[in-house]
Amino acid sequence: MPLPKPPAKRASLLSAADFDSQVAPQPGKRPQKTRAAAEPASPAVVELYDASHAPGAAIAKSVPLIPAKPLVPPRKPQPETRARKPRGNGPATLFVLDTNVLMHDPTSLFRFEEHDIYLPMITLEELDGHKRGMTEVSRNARQVSRELDALAASMPTRDSSGMSEGLPLARTGHREAGGKLFFQTNLINVTLPAGLPQGKADNQILGVVQALREQQPGRDVVLVSKDINMRIKARALGLPAEDYLNDMTLEDGDLLYTGVLPLPADFWDKHGKTMESWQQGGLTYYRISGPMVPVLLINQFVYLEAPGAASLYAKVIEITGKTAVLRTLKEYTHQKNAVWGVTARNREQNFALNLLMDPDCDFITLTGTAGTGKTLMTLAAGLSQVMDDRR
């Protein structure tokens, strides 16, 4: 709608005629189409000041309209992905899993990083035979079956070649597994030595490994089994076999913290001059300063057993700056200090009972082979403090 003629003076009134003259169309005149109409229109010009109605000479300023830039939709944030270890130049190793590996660790399918897994048909049969019951083996067998079902369900329904080409192990969320899972989809006829019965499950798995090595000569095919005899038979047939070691605990005890430090034979000579000692509660305390202090730790046991010198069995209870405080131990090797009838048989058991009977120690770890008294001493110390001391 066009605007009426602007007033020439301040506070002047507009008449209806001025408004009608702007609105009424002029008869007889039709707008002529020009060539410029077919061309793209140039940016429009907005008059900021009308010089024809202003007193005096003035220069009209015009500013061209800048066409607006098209809106660009914001980019969706891409989720961060965890870098996966690149594969080597050669093909990935194909590990054939024995049934006992799956029943030992139900997550073993996803523990081989970028390598592939192969499950013989007899392995699935043995899993089905062990899934009933309330034992740990039965629970593990059922968990493996659920994992295999989830992997099979992740395959597209129309993809009939998925089983033969392998199922990516990372489909169910295990991003650390970069390989594929292969199932035995056809019968394998392999001639084993006459001494190995064909109907036994272990021998059938050995036959599968031998057939895979013949079908894929340029690829490493390795049998993984927890059965020692199974691995021995595989090596006797010239087949590579390995134990499943993913969840094996540390075997080298020298790498573990022992909590015990033997003192050198010249300990009294180097630390005796500046040493302070006192008696409290039937125990002897030593405050030492010297080269041994930097290597000591709180609750660490120290001992000195040297011929011709006084033996020392103590525990570090305080370290302040360049000084440390040692406290001698209670001798639980004597029957008078027995804990619910249990006495220490050696030095290490005496150290353990001193820790177990100390109410200031909230958490204690004991390492040792079976039969060294870990459970017995722990139960005796707990019963003694709860039943006798009412702690």
Digit-coded pLDDT (tens) for 282-320: 999 999 998 889 999 999 999 998 777 778 899 999 999
Q: Chain centroid to CA 167: how far?
A: 23
Average pLDDT over residues 326-347: 92
Q: What is the pLDDT of residue 311?
A: 84
pLDDT of residue 267: 85
Count of residues in the chain: 391
What integer pLDDT is reported at residue 187 of this predicted model?
Answer: 77
Contact of 172 with 151, CB cutoff 8 Å: yes
Q: How far apart are CA 221 and CA 208, in angstroms?
A: 10
Per-residue pLDDT of 218-256, as tens digits, reads 889 999 999 999 999 999 999 999 999 886 655 566 678
Q: Which residue has the higher pLDDT, 292 or 19?
A: 292
Residue 36 reports pLDDT greater than 60 = no
Q: Which residue has the higher pLDDT, 252 or 323?
A: 323
> Which of 369, 101, 69, 75 minimizes the C-alpha distance to 245?
101
The dihedrals phi and psi of 78, each to the nearest 5 degrees, come to -85, 130
Q: 3-state SS string over 269-295?
A: HHHCCCCEEEEECCEEEEEEECCCHHH
Give the dihedral sign, CA 382/384/385/387. Answer: positive
Contact of 301 with 315, CB cutoff 8 Å: yes
* Rounded CA separation 118/130 (Å): 20
- The pTM for the full model equals 0.46
Query: Which structural domains are found in the chain, ordered by start?
Result: 94-242 (3.40.50.1010), 255-328 (2.40.30), 336-388 (no CATH)
Spatial contact of 177 and 107, defined as CB atoms under 8 Å apart? no
More confident residue, 318 or 185: 318
Does pLDDT of 199 surpass 90? no
Q: What is the C-alpha separation between 381 and 389, in angstroms, rounded?
A: 11
Decide if 99 contacts 123 (C-beta within 8 A): yes
| pLDDT given at position 164 | 74
Nearest of 290, 317, 289 to residue 302 by alpha carbon: 317
Q: For residue 350, is pLDDT > 80?
A: yes
Least confidently predicted of 76-80, 139-143, 212-216: 76-80
Contact in structure between 353 and 332 (CB atoms under 8 Å): yes
Query: Using CB atoms within 10 A of its CB, is residue 336 exposed (0-12), middle (13-18) or buried (19+)?
Result: exposed
Hey, is 103 helix, strand or coil? helix
Q: Tokens for 230?
A: 């199974």
- Report, as an integer, the average pLDDT of 321-350: 92
Q: Which of 13-27, 192-206, 315-329 has the highest mean pLDDT?
A: 315-329
Residue 84's pLDDT is 44
Tell me the pLDDT band of 170, cut-offs 50, 70 and 90.
Answer: confident
Work out the burial of residue 186: count CB atoms within 10 Å of its CB; fewer than 13 is exposed, 13-18 middle, 19 or more buried.
exposed
Of all residues in the chain, the percent with pLDDT exceeding 70 is 74
